[in-house]
Amino acid sequence: MGLIVQKFGGTSVGSAERILNVAERVREEKERGNDVVVVVSAMGKTTDQLVSLAKEIATQPNKREMDMLLTTGEQITISLLSMALNHKGIEAVSFTGWQAGIFTEDIHGNARITKIETDAVNKQLSKGKVVIVAGFQGITVDGEITTLGRGGSDTTAVALAAALKADKCDIYTDVTGVYTTDPRYVKDARKLLAVSYDEMLELANLGAGVLHPRAVEFAKNYNVPLEVRSSMEKISGTVIEEEATMEENLIVRGVAFEGEITRVTVLGLPNSLSGLSTIFTTLAKNHINVDIIIQSSTDAHATNLSFSIKSEDLEQTLTVLEENREVLEYEQIEWEMKLAKVSIVGSGMVSNPGVAAEMFKVLADHEIHVKMVSTSEIKVSAVVAETNMIRAVEVLHEAFNLSENKR
């Protein structure tokens, strides 16, 4: 007898019929003799609808009140799923994030989990009940309700699995596993049997929407066995583990992409030792995530700095830089919108030099101009015009032999 944590996303619980389907999957796991904790998202597009409703009231809604509003979405799902299971004769109890003992830092809209007190969940498990927990939410030590950011239900599930020392965490979604790239855009994309934690973390951070990056971090740090599976089809999915077997000797395991990227260039910064730390500390204090960074000195006294951000953060970034202009001492700011980031990921790149060169050659051969570049041991990212994003993904996917027809 083991303990399994199951997570079902918004699409999987998008209607009463689908909630009943999820209840059946949970029942099957329970009847195998396992204890089960289920983490669920809000139904379908509920979160989007709540965000739209809030923006009808205020153009920039208060973040605390947004958390109060958005957490209601998951509460609908947990109660309905508990009803469905009890109706099937499976004892179940629903918990909000705070009832489940999930504590977070004091940040509204994008909080990180700081600790999980498992007593309440374990008490119900000891009674033989299925425990259904609302994903995406927690509480501060001062009793403030918080949310974990979009996709945070994945993080809730893996963090619970780690805290409860679960035997496995299954992430059920509307796809059958992790693919070489998004199959909605590249028809020859194929499902991978296994991916390493490091590869999955890069893919998640670079735009692959299958798993939330923080969830992969938890899985890696606490060695939580993880599998991405279909909520509709009863087939095996993709296993995420410490060291995935090199499938067909693939050097590159996947191609990730993300649109709505903006490049910000700060011109005429003082060329001092503390210049870089000052500007990025200022942005970090305002919770602005900076990605690719390029510095170019114009002379001994001045330097230019370019970095990429999500386009939705542009207005806040410009406001923060302007408010701190006297401290930062820059001359002016420029920005370019409608960009995208395309990345290749694979642990095989560590021992195979020339992968980056091949990527840039492929893009050049197809007249796709590269505006910024970032690399690590297992990934290479290029910023391109958003209009070239899907074309870049397609040609790279083909060039690195990832297509289904090349198996």
Do 259 and 395 share a domain, yes or no?
yes
Looking at residue 191, the DSSP 8-state letter turns out to be B
Taking residues 10-38, what's their average pLDDT?
Answer: 96
For residues 269 and 156, membership in a common domain is answered with no
351 and 268 in a common domain: yes
φ, ψ dihedrals at 319, nearest 5°: -65, -45
Q: Which of 157, 174, 191 is at the close of a domain?
A: 174
Residue 398: CATH number of its domain: 3.30.2130.10
Integer Cα distance of 33 and 98 in angstroms: 28
Q: Name the β-bridge partners of 179.
A: 191
CA atoms within 13 A on the CB side of 319: 8
Q: Determine the pLDDT at residue 251.
A: 87
pLDDT tens across 48-59, in order? 999 999 999 999
What does the pLDDT read at residue 351? 81
The answer on pLDDT for 246 being more than 60 is no
Q: Is 294 within 8 Å of 372 (Cβ atoms)?
A: yes
State pTM to two decimals. Answer: 0.83
Q: Measuring CA to CA, which residue among 102, 101, 41 is closest to residue 72?
A: 41
pLDDT value at position 245? 60
Residue 199, in any domain of the structure: no
- How far from 236 is each of 231, 233, 358, 404, CA to CA, in Å? 11, 9, 33, 18
Q: Is residue 210 part of a domain?
A: no
Which range marks the domain in which residue 23 is found? 3-174
Q: What percent of the chain lies above the pLDDT cut of 70?
A: 97
Cα 268 from Cα 247, distance rounded (Å): 48
User: For the residues 307-324, what does the mean pLDDT come to?
Assistant: 95
pLDDT, averaged across the chain: 93
Average pLDDT (331-340) is: 96
Give the model's pLDDT for residue 248: 54
Q: 325 lies in a domain?
A: yes
Q: Are residues 24 and 170 in the same domain?
A: yes
Task: Judge residue 8's burial from the number of C-beta atoms within 10 Å of its C-beta, 0-12 exposed, 13-18 middle, 19 or more buried.
Answer: buried
Q: Mark which of 174, 200, 218 sits at the end of a domain.
A: 174
Sign of CA dihedral 401, 402, 403, 407: positive
Alpha carbon distance 199, 176 (integer Å):
18
Q: What is the mean pLDDT of residues 292-319?
A: 90
Whether residues 144 and 248 fall in one domain: no
Residue 43 predicted with pLDDT over 90: yes
Our separate counts of H helices and E strands in the chain read 12, 18
Q: What is the structure's pLDDT at 241?
A: 87
Query: What's the chain's Rg over C-alpha atoms?
Result: 23
Average pLDDT, integer, range 227-240 = 92
* Range 147-175 average pLDDT: 93
Give residue 212's pLDDT band: very low, low, confident or very high (50, 70, 90).
confident
Cα–Cα distance, 305 to 267 (Å, whole number):
7
| Domain tally, the chain | 2
CATH, residue 15: 3.40.1160.10
Last residue of a domain, which of 174, 208, 225?
174
Residues 7 and 101 in one domain: yes
Same domain membership, residue 405 and residue 267: yes
User: Tens digit of pLDDT for each residue in 122-136?
Assistant: 999 999 999 999 999
Q: Would the pLDDT of 274 be above 80?
A: no
pLDDT surpassing 80 at residue 301: no
Residues 264 and 387 in one domain: yes
